[in-house]
Amino acid sequence: MKKRIASIMTAALILTPALTANLSSVNAANQPESVTSVSNTVSLAKYDDGLLIDHVVYFPKDMTRSNKKYPVVVWGNGTFASWEHYEELLSQIAAGGYIVVGNTDSFCGSGLTESASVDFIINENKDSKSIFYNKVDVEHIGAGGHSQGGMSAVNAARRNSYIDCVFDVQGCQLKYEASKLNVPTFFITATEDTIVSSSWVKSSYNACNAPSVYASVKDVTHFGPVDGQSASIFAEYAVKWFDAFLKNNKNSKSVFLKGGSLSKDSRWVDYASKNF
């Protein structure tokens, strides 16, 4: 059984480049499975890609009536998790004016599937049959993720030059991987996290040579991003982070600088930043 599981996981990773190369033809034949309202301001499109890993996309409800192009956030899941576990977090990011691309990969640490999510939404932007046709700001794409998904976001940014910044929540990436980042990265941990320790995340921050921020959410466990109440704290700063580096919002960027509101927010501790 263990060998079978390992084989399936390996096959999924091997298939990912092929998935990336063939997404355009796959999605030309498959419209979103459904579009369901998840709030007054956000909708959700589900795609059946015909393989092990499917895509879901949160987007502002007014997108279909707008002539604007929207920046993108791709998301990586924690181990054994899927996009459903992050509905509150991802929908709040989308409500901030983003197209947010999730997937069903529960073992995404390599960054391959999150990088494929970038290629997926770029292909949708080119497909005249897609609801995302000409809606995607392909010049402004960020990567986020939780736990193994944080590791995924780091590695996706290393793999995919379209990614402009990283929002790494309790990521378990190696110091070596973090040292190869060249885009602004927010390394986040939590004071009650007993799975990925603050020292592990701080070591990634220390190894990173790009503009970066480190901070820890008080009184939150490893599962804060999947908890409705705690998820809002992460979503609040995710929107500000992406506003800073995907919308070039100077006020949002100032939040993360020394003396900015993050360093003074009583819900956070151990703030540090460098290379800005």
Domain locations along the chain: 2-274
pTM (2 decimals)? Answer: 0.88
Question: Exposure of 194 by Cβ count < 10 A (0-12 exposed, 13-18 middle, 19+ buried)?
Answer: exposed
Q: What is the pLDDT of residue 9?
A: 30
Which tokens is 234 given? 């992460």
Correct CATH for 2-274 of 3.40.50.1370, 3.40.50.1820, 3.40.47.10, 3.90.110.10:
3.40.50.1820
Pair 146, 51: CB distance under 8 Å: no
Mean pLDDT by 10 residues, the chain (276 residues): 31 32 37 75 91 90 95 97 94 97 96 97 96 98 98 98 98 97 98 96 98 98 90 97 98 97 98 96
In angstroms, the CA 212 to CA 216 distance is 14
**E strand or H helix at 143:** strand 136-146
pLDDT score at 56: 96
- The 10s digit of each residue's pLDDT in 22-35 is 333 334 345 566 67
Q: Which long-range contacts (CB under 8 A, 24 or more apart) does 7-10 make?
A: 8/52, 9/107
Strand partners, 235: none
pLDDT of residue 31: 59
pLDDT value of position 243:
98
